[in-house]
Amino acid sequence: MPKIKTHKATVKRFTITKNKKLRRRKAGQDHFNARESGKVKRNKRRDIDMSKTQGRIINTLIQNF
């Protein structure tokens, strides 16, 4: 059976920490940020953790077993 290729778009969007946690960037940072409050702007700069269920799917695309 051939190997599954790595999904390159997924690799660019997600990072794996030392403790094998998946992190992604918060959405909605491109434009229309002037109307957001300062609290929302600061929170958009942070990475957020993915759930374990979604993590399994992403790990198959990244090929990080």
Q: State the 10-residue block means of pLDDT for the chain, 65 residues long.
A: 87 92 91 93 92 91 74
Residue 1 lies in a domain: no
* pLDDT of res. 9: 93
* pLDDT of res. 63: 81
CATH for 48: 4.10.410.60
Residue 3 lies in a domain: no
Residue 38 to residue 16: CA distance in whole angstroms: 28
Residue 12 lies in a domain: yes
Structural domain total, the chain? 1
Residue 2 to residue 8: CA distance in whole angstroms: 18
**Domain carrying residue 56:** 8-62
Tell me the two tokens of residue 40. Answer: 């929302």
Residue 37 lies in a domain: yes
Q: DSSP string covering 15-33, please?
A: EE-TTS-EEEEPS--SS--
pTM metric for this prediction: 0.73
Residue 53 lies in a domain: yes
Residue 57 lies in a domain: yes
* pLDDT of res. 64: 63
